[in-house]
A and B are shown apart, each in its own frame.
Chain A
Amino acid sequence: MRIENLTVRYGSFVAVDDVSLEIPTGSIVGLVGESGSGKSTLARAVSGLVPYTGALTGAERVQMVFQNPYASLDPRMTVGGSVAEALLRLPSGRRAAEVERLLDLVALPGSVAGRYPRELSGGQRQRVAIARALGAEPSLLVADEITSALDVSVQGAVLNLVRSLREELGLSILFISHNLAVVRYVCDSIAVMHRGRVVEAGPTDQVTLEPAHDYTRSLLSAVPRLTT
């Protein structure tokens, strides 16, 4: 799919300024930037949650997974009920089996369907949110900071899941994060956003090893590392 000349304005403030970006089918494109860079606004525009000018081509069905898995699942609805909301197009008799298939896809046991979100860990909730998004058979999945509310010990499992979904389902993913190390691990290519604009975009290795833009270089040098 292609994003062409996408602009989002809030009054006189330009949150996303004339962004063009290509997301090839079956690839994960990372979007990095600091708070206020416009990356989350771009995600919401692509998902149809905020009005924008510009064109989106080749993305008929976009689904988004939110940052906070504690807020993105209805606390009064069972996991199965939440996931089944993506399946209203199916006859009700077939939904239960499909819910189980989706949960299996995100490596959760079918028994989770009868539980409430409060009974699950943050990582499990985020898997449920991904399963729900997959139920709508999206042509593009937008993942907005999906691991930043999670503890490190479960973050790895969710990142592995994102990669396996690309491999097994050929899913296209727009993966948004402020964490460059996470983006590098997950994505095939990276776009760097700064003050509403994409300042650099390219294959992951190129952006992380031979950054062309000063801002990318300053982001890279700020990544904390364990000294060996």
Chain B
Amino acid sequence: MRAGLAIVAALIVLAIIGPPLWGDQAEAINSAAILQGASAAHPLGTDNLGRDLLARVLVAGRFTLMLALLATAIGAVVGTVLGALPAVLPRKGARFVTGLVNALVAFPGLLLAMFVAVIAGLGAKGAVLGIGAAIAPGFARLTQTLAASVAGADYVSAARMLGVPRGRILARHVLPNIAEPLILNLTQAMGGALLGLAGMSFLGLGVQPPSFDWGRLLFDGFARIYLTPEVALGPAVAVALAGIGFNLLGDGLVKKARRARPSTDKAVAPRPEPVAADPEAVLDVRELTVAFPGGVTPVRELSLTIRPGEIVGLVGESGSGKSLTAAAVGGLVPYPGVVGASLLHRGGEVAMVFQEPALNPALKVGGQLAEVAIVRDGLSRAEARERAIDRLGRVHLPDPARSAKSHPHELSGGMRQRAVIAMGLMGSPKLIVADEPTTALDVTVQGQILKLLREVVDQTGSAVLFISHDIAVVGELCDRVVVMYAGRVVEELPVKELAAGAAHPYTRALIASLPDMETDRSRPLASIPGRQPAPADVGEGCAFAPRCALATERCAAERPPLTVYGPAHRVACWEA
């Protein structure tokens, strides 16, 4: 990227200063020094009229770049129009244009360029038109692909439903949303055009004397390559360097657009003093912090203790840090995030269950389960298989032996989620971390999965950390509920107090804003004004204060600590 930028910048400077600086020298005919090789006076030698070739190479930069720019512009405009036309034309016309583009893409580019150049006439005009024609199909194809993906977007459907004319949809919705990759592609096309034009001139189809570009200089020098190779070397190096420069720059731009530049500053997590773990707990976490570069801290000083046989619900809205808490517990925080804690104690094996069942679609379900036992416990293939079928039966998959032989896509969503739970049971997990395991499922299936989790806990004595955005689901399954807001725990309470005994204004508002089958339909639903602050924007005081009806000056200035409110009930609120 940097090298590309430097080369392209140098080329632009050369194009600007080249002709005024060396123009006279490049045109100066010297009959005493024709067809010379390299010398102190002429580092790259002279041509058949005794003109200095170094000066000619430096001067030709402007013309070469201008031609390439022009050819790229022609190719890009024609290509974009061709690619976008199917989106506006009636079906038959669209099909014709698509077919035409397909045929042109299949046709060799250089042949197309030569064909057009011969028809348009020898010289710079023909070469530029030819290269433009060669670039256009690629652009058309790219535009078509990008436009097709945007055309399926909801906002295009919405515009169609409003009766917005096709042309306007193209101009206002489609083109602006595909402009970025097209513009990135321009840089690379520019490199291609430059090489293509040089090729055309080299074949004698391009620039004709007395005009000259790098390709023409190369063509002239090539005849003498066995006697004085340096006369061909100058223009060849220039062409190669320019081609490499534009391609490097284009590559760099594309990569940069695809993903944000990997941040050089590292995330820092606080390292508090270690403390001793509760020996009975299957999970004991104190002052857990998850941090990302740039001061983004989605989880802040979270403490959580889970004992065997307990089902603990972790509730919060999107962005509250609940899923990253689960990831930290499972040791799965993605790079470049870092985890800091005064204690992160797991009292045994941890099994993870995710929202989208994590099964490899290419492998049979039974094999994937058996693999766990083979790798982890060193069981034989037959033993592992037997255990897999046993576990699939335990999660109530009908006909476990047959389910084991099926691929994941042959099972319904609910059955897949059961299979993943069975996979967790292949070992003997002390803790099952379930991150939104029922969110993608239907309500009736959701009920079955919740029942299954409860049953697993009763049978095996393992504990569950159940993460959900749905406080009603958590209320139905869990023994204890932990409510998160903006990265911190704001309340922790026994589930039986959830409906009537919640003390934090946020918990109360969450419950009130959730309609259930008994909600009074004659009154408006409660809702919370404003929005949760982003992980980078959490301030000093209580993060909920700006949305809280009870907030005072103290709330904005000073963060309330999580303090005991009742038996097994803790709240972080000055006003509770």
Contacts and interface: CB of A to CB of B under 8 A. Distances in A.
Interface string A151-195: 111111101100100000000000000111110110000000000
B524 interface: yes
B186 interface: no
Contacts of B475: 224-227
A77 interface: yes
Contact of A71 (B153, B173, B498, B531): B153
Contacts of A185: 515, 519, 521, 525
A203 interface: no
A35 B443 CA distance: 10
B527 A153 contact: yes
Nearest to B150: A74
A76 B158 CA distance: 15
Interface string A117-158: 000010100000100110110000000000000011111110
Contacts of A151: 317-318, 469, 532
Contacts, number: 164
B96 interface: no
A139 to B, nearest CB: 13
Given A66-B158, A155-B513, A224 B473 contact: yes
Contact of A208 (B444, B447, B499, B517): B517
B517 A225 contact: yes
Given A156-B513, A228-B500, A64 B161 contact: yes
A72 interface: yes
B446 interface: yes
A129 B513 CA distance: 22
A180 B443 contact: yes
Interface in B162-192: 162-165, 168, 172-173, 176-177
Contact of B525 (A63, A77, A159, A222): A159
B531 A75 contact: no
Contacts of A223: 443, 516-517
Contact of B173 (A74, A179, A221): A74
A184 B163 contact: no
B552 to A, nearest CB: 21
A88 interface: yes
Max chain A C-beta neighbours (<10 A), residue from B176, B515, B519: B515
B444 A224 contact: no
B157 interface: yes
A110 to B, nearest CB: 18
Contact of B158 (A64, A157, A178, A181): A64
B476 interface: yes
Interface residues of B, number: 56
Given A72-B158, A156-B513, A34 B176 contact: no
A27 interface: no
B472 interface: yes
Interface in A185-228: 185, 204, 208, 218-228
Interface in B468-484: 469-473, 475-476
A20 interface: no
B511 interface: yes
Nearest to A159: B525
A85 interface: yes
B421 interface: no
A63 B162 contact: yes
Nearest to A129: B158
A181 B172 CA distance: 39
Interface residues of A, number: 59
A126 to B, nearest CB: 12
B251 to A, nearest CB: 25
Nearest to B476: A224
Contacts of A228: 499-500
B515 A226 contact: no
A224 B450 CA distance: 10
A156 B517 contact: no
Contact of A85 (B159, B450, B498, B500): B159
Contact of A178 (B159, B443, B498, B500): B443
Contacts of B445: 34
A103 B177 CA distance: 25
B154 interface: yes
Contact of B161 (A48, A159, A218, A226): A48
Given A155-B527, A160-B527, A74 B516 contact: no
A222 B446 CA distance: 8
Contacts of B160: 49
B528 interface: yes
Nearest to A179: B443
Nearest to B320: A151
A73 B524 CA distance: 27
Contacts of A129: 158
Max chain A C-beta neighbours (<10 A), residue from B160, B162, B177: B162
Interface of B: 153-155, 157-165, 168, 172-173, 176-177, 317-318, 413, 442-447, 450, 469-473, 475-476, 495-496, 498-500, 509-511, 513-517, 519, 521, 524-528, 531-532
20 contacts: A64-B161, A72-B155, A74-B172, A85-B159, A88-B163, A123-B531, A151-B317, A151-B532, A152-B470, A155-B525, A160-B524, A180-B517, A182-B515, A184-B519, A208-B517, A219-B443, A220-B517, A223-B443, A226-B499, A227-B496
Q: What 8 A-B pairs are tightest by C-beta distance, nearest first?
A: A156-B527, A156-B525, A34-B442, A157-B527, A72-B154, A153-B528, A156-B513, A151-B317
